[in-house]
Amino acid sequence: MLKPFTTGLETLGSSLPVTLGALGFMAYKIGPEMTAPLMLAMFGAIAITNLCAAFSQRPLTYYTRFFEVSLLAGFIDSFVPRLEAWGLADTPVTRLTLVVMVCIGAAVLQPVFYAFRLQRMTRFIPAPVFAGFLNATALILLLTQGGLILALLAGPYGAAWPSLVIAAVCFGVAYAARSFNRKLPAGVLGLAAASAVAYVLTRWGHPLPSILPSDTQWVLPVALLDWSVLDPSRGALGSVLLHMVVASTLLGVVVFLNTITAVETVSQADDKPLPDRRQLMLLSAGQIVSACLGSAPMSGTPSAAMVAMRSGGLSTGSLFVFSVLALLFYGLGFLSWVPAAAVIGLLLFLVQDLVDAPSVALAWRYLFQPRARQAIGALQREDLLIVVLVTLLGAMVNMVAALLAGMVLGLILFARRNGKSPIKEVKDGRAWRSNCARSASDSALLMQHGERILCLRLQGALYFGVARSLRAEIEALLPHRAQPQWLILDWRAVVSHDTTLALMLERFEKSVALRGVRVLHCARAGDNRAYADMDRALEVCENQLLDEQRPSADAQDSDVSHLHALVGDLDPTAQALVLDCFARRHYAAGEHVLTMGETTRDLHVVASGRADVLIQGGTIRLAGVNSGAILGEMGFLDATPRAADVVAVEPLVSLAMSRERFEVLSQQHPEVAQQIMQSLCTELASRLRLLHQLISRERA
């Protein structure tokens, strides 16, 4: 029974300092007189949004965060220089009106984003942009609050020291609580200590202003708006609306991205399902209502939910309790006990929570640790460059410029990183061989004519910008010959490709087909004709090449040619002895030549036909088998159970020798049996060498 209450109370304690700090920062940008209306709207929005979120199967805490507020502050900084051209006076009411319009626009976009499932598009904003945003916000807070402290120090001592004491107490207590135990609500304890000290100082005759006076009128920001900013007679309505639309879109994207990131983060932590579309639309309705009240954006955050997990996790009941407690905290006038100077200490304390520690540590290593700098990779350097740019622009210009610059720089670096050759590696059929078991004569033919098989491993993001250059590079690799050739394109290292590239390849295939070149694809997403892997594509090309180059054998010496790997070094008399040990066996398509787990010790040499080597019930194909290949040699040598299934894919004829027949040959002609054993060892060594090459190719 008490769990929802304790969880809701703990959630309020973790979210309240951030909420007050963010609102204080926004009120500083709009005008101090707007603090009370903004407070009322924000606490009302917390209740409304979290009540809507309570009906979701993925409960999450929603409140105002520095991320969105810092972006709003950037919008204010970009609007102010244009107010005169728009025919508007630079007043707190004008600033508030423009900010509320942007917030409403951003809230209206949320259900649109959810309806079109734009969660998939959010990955195109580089992650370092968000780290730079956090660092920029922390730097702005440090500069602004440090400036306020310097202003207090420059003023009369009698008026300054109480405020400095309050700020120092709030910061010191919060910092000590965080250092002692990170689970403690450090910000709440800092505000409580500052309030207690303020009460004592007031009793001693040093009155200090509170965040909200006790006689504050309950007025929503929407009641204070000046809608004359939309008066068409000013002649600048189009410019105003254009800037509102751009700002609303940017803010809406940030709110949307933060929310879905928080939902995914918490869902992975507690394994609860994601909200469905109906629940997302209900949440969006709460965000729209909150924005219409004049509140700053409400976005989901994983931090409060993670804190609440210590008490059993967020639930519908705990979100109801959190909403009610937020209203009571404001309605009962608790804010009138919190001194305004405490906000300075609270914001300075929150700086350490806002700073993106990994990026700061990376920058420190890069600037001051020359040895560690060498270990920083190229991708980390690019990320650091984006973080530094966004941080400096956010602190020195505004957050809007920082966001746009970070996205543009990220795209430039992405293009530069993926602007290298789309062809990662080029090999021919002599360097890369399939894992198909073949005869020694077939292997020799492949080594002799393997240059007619060309393998290209593609890489990166293949979009329209590289289509022309990719075709030019492939054309340069293809010699203009009359005889047939095979070109294999390996797509495993390709991140993505667009329709422009697909059309280019289609035209290219038709063009080279006229020159006798066949193009095969492997591991190409969305292409049903593509082979599953390079090994199968290579095997197809090798089979076709061998069909053309393999000489036709006479009927009387066909068996000798098939058994060449075993009897090639024997004289004709010994060859005849070995041939007498082999018997022909016929298998239909789909029939097992060898079965996994059986203990037969027969040695097979494929005379004609093809087969697949399969494991795990036929779900995984290890290799192909062609004429001249030796099968079952491991069981023949050591009597172990068969390690895989060998299934004929077409009518197959094998020459089989039983272990018993070989033992008789060994007793009667030991020198011939020894030669066969040596040939088997050579075959196993050759296969092992080919396997090593295959592993090296696949890991490249």
Is residue 296 within a helix (H) or strand (E), and if so which, with residue range? none
pLDDT digits (tens, 9 = 90+) for 530-543: 998 888 899 899 88
* pLDDT at site 556: 41
Q: How far apart are CA 314 and CA 7, in angstroms?
A: 7
* pLDDT at site 467: 80
Per-residue confidence at 106, pLDDT binned at 50, 70, 90? very high
Say yes or no to pLDDT of 660 above 80.
Answer: yes
For range 172-179, the mean pLDDT: 90
Question: Would 430-549 and 558-699 be classified into the same CATH topology?
Answer: no
Per-residue confidence at 123, pLDDT binned at 50, 70, 90? low
Per-residue confidence at 626, pLDDT binned at 50, 70, 90? confident
In this structure, what token pair is assigned to residue 453? 């098989």
* pLDDT at site 586: 93
Q: Which fold has domain 558-699?
A: Jelly Rolls (2.60.120)
Most confident of 93-107, 245-259, 308-322, 447-461: 93-107
For the domain 430-549, what is the CATH code? 3.30.750.24
What number of residues does the chain have?
700
In this structure, what token pair is assigned to residue 4? 């929802």
Per-residue confidence at 552, pLDDT binned at 50, 70, 90? low
More confident residue, 132 or 244: 244
pLDDT digits (tens, 9 = 90+) for 108-117: 999 998 888 7
Domain range summary for the chain, segments of one domain joined by +: 3-355, 430-549, 558-699
For range 406-428, the mean pLDDT: 77
In this structure, what token pair is assigned to residue 157? 């001592």
For range 18-44, the mean pLDDT: 87
- Is the pTM above the cut of 0.95? no
* pLDDT at site 97: 94
Per-residue confidence at 393, pLDDT binned at 50, 70, 90? confident
Per-residue confidence at 303, pLDDT binned at 50, 70, 90? low
Per-residue confidence at 165, pLDDT binned at 50, 70, 90? very high
* pLDDT at site 108: 95
Say yes or no to pLDDT of 588 above 90.
Answer: yes
DSSP single-letter state for residue 652: E
Per-residue confidence at 700, pLDDT binned at 50, 70, 90? low
* pLDDT at site 557: 47
Say yes or no to pLDDT of 695 above 80.
Answer: no
* pLDDT at site 696: 67
* pLDDT at site 102: 94
pLDDT digits (tens, 9 = 90+) for 315-339: 778 888 888 888 888 888 888 888 8
Average pLDDT, whole number, for the chain?
Answer: 83
* pLDDT at site 643: 87
Q: Euclidean distance between the first and final Cα of the chain, in Å?
A: 59
The count of other CB atoms within 10 Å of the CB of residue 351 is 18
Per-residue CA distances from 182 to 179, 187, 307, 376, 671 (Å): 7, 11, 10, 31, 80
Residue that the structure tokens 């030796």 belong to = 630
Per-residue confidence at 555, pLDDT binned at 50, 70, 90? very low
For range 434-453, the mean pLDDT: 83
CB 136 within 8 A of CB 402: yes
Residue that the structure tokens 């984006």 belong to = 386
Beta strands in 610-660, from DSSP E residues, in sequence order: 611-615, 620-625, 630-631, 645-648, 652-657
pLDDT digits (tens, 9 = 90+) for 361-391: 999 999 988 888 888 887 788 889 988 998 8
pLDDT above 90: percentage of residues in the chain: 21
pLDDT digits (tens, 9 = 90+) for 563-583: 777 777 788 888 888 888 999
* pLDDT at site 628: 81
* pLDDT at site 244: 93
For range 398-426, the mean pLDDT: 75
* pLDDT at site 518: 92
* pLDDT at site 304: 60
CB 326 within 8 A of CB 8: no
Residue that the structure tokens 């294999």 belong to = 488
Query: Helix (H, G, I), strand (E, B), or coil: what is residue 311?
Result: helix
For range 298-321, the mean pLDDT: 69
Kind of pairing, strands 630-631 and 620-625? unpaired
pLDDT digits (tens, 9 = 90+) for 64-79: 887 788 888 889 988 9
Say yes or no to pLDDT of 41 above 90.
Answer: yes
Q: Report angle CA 328, 329, 335 to the nearest 5 degrees.
A: 140
For range 135-141, the mean pLDDT: 83
Strand partners, 522: 490, 531
For 456-478, the DSSP string reads EEEEEEE-HHHHHHHHHHHHHHS
pLDDT digits (tens, 9 = 90+) for 187-230: 888 889 999 999 999 888 888 888 777 666 778 998 999 988 88
